[in-house]
Amino acid sequence: MKSLGSIRRDFAPWNDPNAKPYIQFDNVTKKFGDFIAVNNLSLTIFEREFFALLGASGCGKSTLLRMLAGFEEPTAGRILLDGQDLRGIPPYRRPVNMMFQSYALFPHMTVENNIAFGLKQEGMPKPDIEKRVAEMLKLVKLEQFAKRKPHQLSGGQRQRVALARSVAKRPKVLLLDEPLGALDKKLREETQFELMDLQQELGLTFVVVTHDQEEAMTMADRIAIMDKGEVMQVATPAEVYEAPTSRFVAHFVGNVNMFEGKVAERAANTTRITGATGAQIVVENGGNTAAGADIVFAIRPEKIKVSSKKPADAVNALEGEVYDVAYLGDMTVYHIRLDDGQMVRASAMNASRVSEDPLTWNDRAWVSFRPDAGVVLAR
């Protein structure tokens, strides 16, 4: 038998041109009055994928989820699930189930009746229901809480009941609306891994909505980053972080330094950039920008090295002064003000207990980075 990890490792249907999409948003638009919540959006999700919709509140991610569940109908466009057009199918006839942000546990029913509710609607025979409920309670480790009412449970237990209830019917797709939003930080981190294991175990397609980038990065196979009702980028967590395709995505996920400038020279492998303030930067991956174009060079703080002397072999090295230092234990964050006025954020892992090259406030410092450390984005 394959381990869960190896299944996950080999899973990449989005790179397979023959893979059949499972969920398909086809030019979907949703308007509420004059407000456009989702704007002509197209998106494909594959079977057994753990897919995250990431964005700030009001970006349309929840609307997308609610359209999939059937609580909202698209104003235009269509949604296909396993080849079937979902238009006009009410929520109670869709083969998808949703876990709500507020959990929406039925307060007048015990835990086991909550879990059994969906199965009863299906008309499943009683002994089968009992068996399935027991199975679900075991899955979420709540066997001894079967007879309790929701208000007799802690937040984490309620979350698990909600999860058990939403997977009890073995839906084709499980929709999760901010599933961990109401939990405290420590519990949230534990639960993220539990959710991933559960998804692999049940072999379901998960679509999760979240505003927490760390949560999305941890759990999802692929992330769709949304803004103002549109998808900005769909990619694996690593791609989103290392190869953002737009300024918005680079900004939204993680920390980033932006150098505004112009493409001064374009060669086969190297692109030379002149910063707005005069800095010269050489990069390997210039994207498809032409010479003379206005661009932004984006680079992550941990890709920048800070030193007191100019590194001898550095292609890109800029001089400045230490403006701020924040020691965080596992790493130290420096804010360096370059001589041309630009602020640069750099972070260094504290791999040894005592730094060999200690830098402190107002020290002269050099920031350096490799030609392939950042990305060039259109302005």
Partner 1 sequence: MNATWSRFNITSVVLGFAFLYLPIVLLIVFSFNESKLVTVWGGFSTKWYVSLFHNQGLMDATWVTARVGVISATVATVLGTLAAITLTRYTRFRGRILFSGMVFAPLVMPEVITGLSLLLLFVAVGLDRGFLTVTLAHITFTMCFVAVVVQSRLVSFDRSLEEAAMDLGAPPVKTFFHITLPVILPAIISGWMLAFTLSLDDLVIASFTSGPGATTLPMKIYSQVRLGVTPEINAACTILIAVVAVGVIIASVANKRREVQRQRDEQAAQRG
Query: The tokens of 309 are what?
Result: 């002397």
- Which stretches of the chain are DSSP H helices? 4-10, 61-69, 111-122, 126-139, 155-167, 185-202, 213-219, 237-242, 247-252
Residue with tokens 């790493």: 331
Find the shortest distance in angstroms from Cβ 193 to partner 1.
Answer: 21
| Total residues interacting with partner 1, rule: CB under 8 A | 31
Task: Based on the shown chain and the rule CB under 8 A, indicate whether residue 255 belongs to the binding site for partner 1.
Answer: no
Q: Contact between 325 and partner 1 (CB under 8 A)?
A: no
What's the CA gap between 112 and 240, in Å, rounded? 41
Provide φ and ψ at 239, rounded to 5°. -65, -40
31 binds partner 1 (CB under 8 A): no
- Give the x/- contact pattern for partner 1 in 46-85, rule: CB under 8 A: -----------------------xxx--------------
154 near partner 1 (CB under 8 A): yes
Of 94 and 188, the one with the shorter C-beta distance to partner 1 is 94
**Nearest-5° angle of CA 325, CA 328, CA 331?**
85
Compute the half-sphere exposure of residue 22: CA atoms within 13 Å on the CB side of its CA.
18
Q: Considering the complex, what minimum distance in angstroms separates the CB of residue 120 from partner 1?
A: 9
> Shortest distance, CB of residue 91 to partner 1, whole angstroms?
5
Q: Which stretch binds partner 1 (CB under 8 A): 41-49, 81-89, 145-153, 189-197?
A: 145-153
Residue 308 binds to partner 1 (criterion: CB under 8 A)? no
27 binds partner 1 (CB under 8 A): no
Nearest to 205 by CA among 49, 319, 34: 49
Q: Which amino acid is at 94?
A: R
Question: Is residue 160 part of the contact set for partner 1 (CB under 8 A)?
Answer: no
In the complex, minimum distance from the CB of residue 194 to partner 1, in angstroms, rounded to a whole number: 18
User: Is residue 98 involved in binding partner 1 (CB under 8 A)?
Assistant: yes
Instruction: Compute the C-alpha angle 226/213/74, nearest 5°.
Output: 30
Stretch that binds partner 1, among 46-54, 127-135, 151-159, 282-290 (CB under 8 A): 151-159
In whole angstroms, what is the distance from residue 38 CA to residue 227 CA? 9
Three-class secondary structure of residue 14 per DSSP: helix
Is 118 a binder of partner 1 (CB under 8 A)?
A: yes
DSSP 101: T
Q: Which is nearer to partner 1, 92 or 361 (CB)?
A: 92
Task: Give 81's contacts (C-beta < 8 A, 6+ positions apart).
Answer: 22, 23, 24, 68, 94, 95, 96, 172, 173
Which residues of the chain form contacts with partner 1 (CB under 8 A)? Answer: 69-71, 90-94, 96-98, 100-102, 104, 106-108, 117-118, 121-122, 149, 151-154, 157, 165-166, 169
